[in-house]
Amino acid sequence: MEQRKISKYWMLTDDFTQNPYPVLERVREEQPVCELSLPDGGRAWVVTRHEDAKAALSDPRLSRDINVHFDLVSRLTGTTLTPPPEHANHLANLEPPRHTPLRKAISSAFTPRRADALRPQIETVADELLDRMAGAGGADLIAAYADPLPVIVIATLMGVPAAAWPDFLRWSTQLRAVQATDPAADGTVKELSSYMSALIAEKEREPGDDLISALIHADPDRRLTGTEILSTSFALMTGGNDTTASLLGGVLHALLTHPGERAELLAVPGRWVAEMDELIRYVSPITNTLQRVTLEPVEIGGVTIPADEVVIISVISTNRDRCPFPERPDELDLKRPKPAHLSFGHGIHYCSGAHLAKLMTEVAVRRFFERFPDARLAVDPSALRHTQSMVVRPWESLPVVW
């Protein structure tokens, strides 16, 4: 029997959003570097194998520079598009030489030690959110826990006072509903930009023990401009919140549906930190990396991709690839040797907030199951749905009872 051809829109369907793994396994085997047609009539190239993806993430010919992306779109559409400053001046959207001093400054201020110092505050935030839902006998863990917790913790990291947290929750929700560069987000972006500009000015006058103050008052060779600090704040508030919320919701779901593994972790609290990488590999909170553009023809996995083409690296595919994970890659295995997953990227664009994201997730998940060890899904697992997104893979809701 002739095998059915893979749809040119294969990554954009709801079936793929809800269960991408069968399609990705086939793509890895048949077309590991595969064309994808986009709704606007353009195309992208999707890299699905771990080895190819790791090489692509380190290849300087694949650019993450947002100006390169906007220039390509401008030429394709016959218009002149310019990236907004809030998105054009942070690590994830720049390449060397601009990327290098920014990376140095962020790495100096945003250290694992600074993240670890937030553990007591993360525990307090988690406990307060759990207190609010405790008497109800159940809750939607996405709306009540996974979404608000990263917003509050990241706001705390940046030195945002508690009185402004409700605004940050509102802005985060509004930006999650649309792309931050979508005109529909203009009002929210303006509000958040105005607030953060005022906060940066305040921290310049009166520094505190927070990330923004550390960036402003760093040594001269590690000091960012006001625009760069503002852009970095936006990256934390949008990308940092969304990816961590997706990760937290995913790990909660994984352990709700794997009671044996949950019992193992609860029995030996010291294992939570050690097993986070396997949980992250299995959950794959990031569907794809942010898009890259080829600066010249590039060969990946035996396929030559022309210059000026969009490249998407399928993280969710690489995390189930049998080459790096030969033993039951589709299963959660807490005895698996520490997996070299690509959920936080690789190379110079490796996520600078990876340590904090893992810490928030570990603390929040452990705190929840210690508080509600008998928690269970309130609906059949088949009724749960993922929100469609090209970057993250959050659950729409996660109703539980206890």
Per-residue pLDDT for 2 more than 50?
no
- Helix axis angle for 226-235 and 99-109, nearest 10°, is 70
**What pairs with residue 395 in β-bridges?**
386
* Bridge pairing between strands 310-313 and 43-47: parallel
24 burial class (0-12, 13-18, 19+ CB within 10 angstroms)?
buried
Find where tokens 């937290």 sit: 248
Question: What are the tens digits of pLDDT across the range 208-222?
Answer: 999 999 999 998 888
Per-residue pLDDT for 379 more than 50?
yes
Question: What are the tens digits of pLDDT across the range 308-353?
Answer: 999 999 999 999 999 999 999 999 999 998 889 999 999 999 999 9
CA–CA dist 169, 236 (Å, integer)? 13
Are 216 and 229 in contact by the 8 Å Cβ rule? The answer is yes
Length of the chain: 402
Name the 3-class secondary structure at 43. strand
Per-residue pLDDT for 181 more than 60?
no
Average pLDDT (154-171) is 93
Q: Spell out the residues 6+ positions from residue 368 whose beta carbon is closer than 8 angstroms to its own.
A: 126, 130, 141, 145, 252, 375
Question: What are the tens digits of pLDDT across the range 97-148?
Answer: 999 999 998 888 888 888 899 999 999 999 999 999 999 999 999 999 999 9
Per-residue pLDDT for 290 more than 50?
yes
Name the residue with higher pLDDT: 140 or 223: 140
Q: Confidence class of residue 250 from pLDDT cuts 50, 70 and 90?
A: very high
The model's pTM is 0.94
